[in-house]
Amino acid sequence: MATSCKNSITLRGSTEIVTEFFHYGLHSILYQRGLYPPETFAHTQQWGLTMLVSCDKDLQTFLGNILCQVKTWLTDMTVEKLVLVVKEVGTNNVVERWQFDVECDRTVTKDTKREVKDKDIQDGIRAVIRQITASVTFLPLLETPCCFDILVYTDKDLEVPEEWGETGPHLIYNSEEVKLKSFCTSVHKVNTAVAFKKH
């Protein structure tokens, strides 16, 4: 007899899952796009996939600080999107823009429990990570040295920590966009897309 395992998820549990997805997703993009040397990444297992995570301490600290704040905003349901922009070092021209739109179910409170299948969430995350990995097949080669920046869009009235600065949207003119899959925890939904400069 087949059974389907259902679990309940809370706001806190959903926040943990989405933050973890951002952690592995951002590392995967940085590896796939060659922004850090491949030998600085280590293999690890997550969601039944072999993932690559940077061993660079400065990068780990940088991303860790960002994701710690994003986690707070996910819990408060004040984050709207997280964007990783890839820029040419010499010109600061944006050549790629990875956008993760976050939809929050604002009816959820800290005490809410939702029935959800773990497998459904993990299948959704695996599908997005696989698409990030496969993106090298359609994205243009980065032919000049590039760096990256992380943008986080929040509710307009939100007070932002002092160490965070205001910036423009870093849009790409004459770009093409590819929408990737999304996943949903029943509390948060994350839609992914990548825009890149047409050549």
pLDDT in tens, 64-86: 999 999 999 999 999 999 999 99
Predicted local distance difference test score (pLDDT) of residue 87: 94
Closest CA to 59 of 105, 87, 26, 98: 26
CA–CA distance from 90 to each of 94, 145, 148, 174, 195 (Å)? Answer: 11, 8, 13, 20, 20
The pTM (predicted TM-score) of the whole model is: 0.90
Predicted local distance difference test score (pLDDT) of residue 160: 59
Predicted local distance difference test score (pLDDT) of residue 73: 92
Chain-wide mean pLDDT for the chain?
A: 88
User: Whole-angstrom Cα distance, residue 113 to residue 80?
Assistant: 22
Query: Which residues of the chain register pLDDT less than 50?
Result: 1-5
Return the exposure string of 134-151: e unless at least 16 CB atoms fall within 10 Å of the residue's CB, then b: ebeeebeeeeeebebebe
Structure-derived torsion over alpha carbons of residues 108, 113, 119, 125, reported in degrees to the nearest 10: 30
